[in-house]
Structure 1
Amino acid sequence: PARDLPAGAGFAGFRLQESRSGHPGRNGEALDWKSNDWVAFLGASYFRAVGELYQYGLSARGVAIDPAVSGKAEEFPDFTHIWLETPQAGAEYIVIYALLSGPSLAGAYRFRMHRGNGVTMEIETALHLRKDVTRLGIAPLTSMFWYSETAKQTAIDWRPEVHDSDGLALWTGSGERAWRPLNNPPHTMASSFVDGDPRGFGLMQRDREEGHYLDGVHYERRPSLWVETDGRWGRGSVQLVEIPTDDEIHDNIVAMWVPEGPAKAGNAYNFRYTLHWLADEPFPTQLGRVVATRLGNGGQPGTTRPRGVRKFLVEFLGPALEAVPFGTKPEVVLSTSRGSFSYVLTEAVPDDVPGHWRAQFDLTVAGSEPVEMRCYLKAGDTVLTETWLYQYQPF
């Protein structure tokens, strides 16, 4: 049908439908290819795919130009031309070429997309800058986070949680695994995680409990999106932009790789990476993972609660914690950019789930400036969990 469009008809994008042979659905049934699509390219350089839970959610973009730069409007270049390579009979992938153009840059893209357990996209890109760019985002991901179990002071709503993603997962070039819960901050925040040759990063939806959302749009089925780097990406940083929102209709989260050094007119960039649209991270670890971050009043029950003190409970779950011998408690390792800790302890979560532990501590801090914290569990010299990173906005 696309070939039959008259010249100049114009179109906003395209979708790829499921296989005519009937891709198995979430409950094992064969999906009707006419009414079920698995990839959509629509608007500027935005595109998205269903995950293995058969639901759309967050989006990816070809590039991000100056998001959250003070005094400068963000630029949204367009995929102006798209070519679909005719697949051979029985092919399990489709290849797409795209030309990106905007005032500040031009780019060429190759997508090799496979529909399996979720969707994978092998992407090659070549970018050429026409103008200086303050913040050049490579492999940008765009999502929505309104509120979660951590803090709900930004919302009056009947649902327990509302978000397409609940955290940023990092796998650094040095091999560290980290988890940064998302925030809905009082004002726009940009966080930078400096690295060299990162192995990957992604915006994840870890909470899969339907009862934590109670919504017919099924946030518990939204895909997680992981960027697997290919080759040497050099020095730079994974940057996380969080924009205040008061509703679920606004995409307010951006995660991206920003190369080190100024992005000057005339610069050229080449990157290769794979996007994994799945329910979880594609490269699991034996380390305990963060499964919840909870905040409460500091101090102890039955006493006057002190002002300026917040209690944190960080829950971890995973095979390395299941192996902790009976009667042994993991040690919590904490650090903060400012303030002080008290009432620090670890305990098994009383739910009879093996390997489910939590770190508990109070943070005393003055003022309203953000606080950056780190936390992980260990036994002796053995690290048992990924690193919890958190930006606390005092309230």
Structure 2
Amino acid sequence: MELSKVGLAPATSMFMHSPNGREKTDDFRPSVHDSDGLLMINGRGERLWRPLANPSTLQVSAFMDNSPQGFGLMQRERDYANYQDLEAHYEKRPSLWVEPVGNWGPGAVVLTEIPTQSEIHDNIVAFWKPAQPLAAGSEYRFSYHLNWGAQPEANPQAITVSRTASGRADIAKPTPKRLFVIDYQVQGAKPAQMPEPKVRSNAGVISNVVLRDNPANNGYRLSFEFDPGEVTLAELRAELTLQEARPVETWLYRWTL
């Protein structure tokens, strides 16, 4: 019998809340999580950043790829002030970067987000799933390096997502419309020209896309509004385009009601 459900290089973590998704939280701590995002570098060299969420219902996302360069659950927020926890010290939790050795072929990085109301439960799972089932009686070899640390995958030239926050877009009255704010940090010298932002969604309406300099972190701040309308799930994607050759992370997010 073939093995159709297999997860290679699996990792688990915990995410309860952060500035992105505090509307269901009654907690004195601004953030509670062991990891705040899934980082992927796909086979084409594209850097993808997917902020984690604590959804109302089970969510499983599959990021199709061919021979990934790496993926892992990252803890990027390292400031104690954003946790305020004298016991757990989430700002010191390590990140884990999986670096495949050789060609893993087609498949997907799978992210599972499980609803939780307690930080004692690991509710985040990430792994690689081959596109084809593993046949009975056959032999398969997959090699990879596990890299632990504060930032085990660091590119000195990359422009990376440092923070994702969201909240009500309509101040006067409650509506389903959401405001997203994404901070990008520039490693090294800042580009001479402002990047061009592009935000897309497979459902709902994107509006008021604004990119500005962020002197607080030598980077940029991207903001936009998202009106889901009648949908209960949408895939969001934000990109910054530069005229110079430089790695810039693509921001991905699954919004759920």
Which bracket does the TM-score occupy, shorter chain normalised?
A: over 0.9
Partners of 1:213 and 1:267 lie apart in 2 by 48
Residues 278, 158 of structure 1: alpha-carbon distance in 2 compared, 3 angstrom cutoff: same
Residues 214, 306 of structure 1: alpha-carbon distance in 2 compared, 3 angstrom cutoff: closer
Partner of 2:59: 189
Residues 297, 238 of structure 1: alpha-carbon distance in 2 compared, 3 angstrom cutoff: same
Aligned pair count reads 256
Residues 177, 191 of structure 1: alpha-carbon distance in 2 compared, 3 angstrom cutoff: same
Equivalent of 1:312 in 175, 180, 183: 180
Residues 282, 312 of structure 1: alpha-carbon distance in 2 compared, 3 angstrom cutoff: closer
Partner of 1:288: 159
Equivalent of 1:240 in 111, 127, 132: 111
Matches within 5 A, 1:209-248: 209-215=79-85, 216-248=87-119
CA contact (8 A) 1:316 1:385 kept: no
Partner of 1:35: none
Partners of 1:148 and 1:384 lie apart in 2 by 26
Partners of 1:188 and 1:255 lie apart in 2 by 14
Q: Which moved more, 1:331-340 or 1:170-179?
A: 331-340
Higher CA-based Rg: 1
Residue type at the aligned position of 2:99:
E
Q: Does 1:260 align with 2:128?
A: no
Residues 265, 153 of structure 1: alpha-carbon distance in 2 compared, 3 angstrom cutoff: farther
Q: Does 1:138 align with 2:8?
A: yes
Q: Which moved more, 1:180-189 or 1:340-349?
A: 340-349
CA contact (8 A) 2:157 2:246 kept: no
How far 1:364 sits from its partner (Å)?
1.4
Residues 337, 381 of structure 1: alpha-carbon distance in 2 compared, 3 angstrom cutoff: farther
Partners of 1:134 and 1:141 lie apart in 2 by 19
SS class of match (1:157):
coil
SS class of match (1:268):
coil
Partner of 2:232: 369
Matches within 5 A, 1:72-83: none
Q: Does 1:341 align with 2:206?
A: yes
Residues 380, 165 of structure 1: alpha-carbon distance in 2 compared, 3 angstrom cutoff: same
Partners of 2:203 and 2:79 lie apart in 1 by 34
Partners of 1:218 and 1:306 lie apart in 2 by 34
How far 1:381 sits from its partner (Å)?
6.8
Gaps (5+ residues) in structure 1?
1-130
Partners of 2:110 and 2:136 lie apart in 1 by 22
Q: Which moved more, 1:205-214 or 1:280-289?
A: 280-289
How far 1:269 sits from its partner (Å)?
2.0
Say what the alpha-carbon RMSD is for the aligned residues.
Answer: 1.9
Question: 1:267-290 CA deviation, whole Å, 9 max, x = no partner?
Answer: 432100000011113342512110
Partners of 1:260 and 1:268 lie apart in 2 by 16
Residue type at the aligned position of 2:197:
V
Question: 1:113-157 CA deviation, whole Å, 9 max, x = no partner?
Answer: xxxxxxxxxxxxxxxxxx544420000001111111111234322
Partners of 1:374 and 1:268 lie apart in 2 by 38
TM-score normalised by length of structure 2: 0.92
Equivalent of 2:36 in 136, 150, 166: 166
Partners of 2:43 and 2:77 lie apart in 1 by 26
Partners of 1:368 and 1:187 lie apart in 2 by 15
Gaps (5+ residues) in structure 2?
none
CA contact (8 A) 1:376 1:384 kept: no
Question: 1:24-46 CA deviation, whole Å, 9 max, x = no partner?
Answer: xxxxxxxxxxxxxxxxxxxxxxx
Q: Does 1:392 align with 2:244?
A: no
Partners of 2:111 and 2:29 lie apart in 1 by 26
Residue type at the aligned position of 1:318:
V
Partners of 1:201 and 1:267 lie apart in 2 by 26
CA contact (8 A) 1:202 1:224 kept: yes
Tell me which of the two structures has the higher relative contact order, counting C-alpha pairs closer than 8 angstroms and 6 or more residues apart: 2
Partners of 1:382 and 1:372 lie apart in 2 by 27
How far 1:305 sits from its partner (Å)?
4.7
SS class of match (2:165):
strand
Partners of 1:267 and 1:337 lie apart in 2 by 40
CA contact (8 A) 1:199 1:229 kept: yes
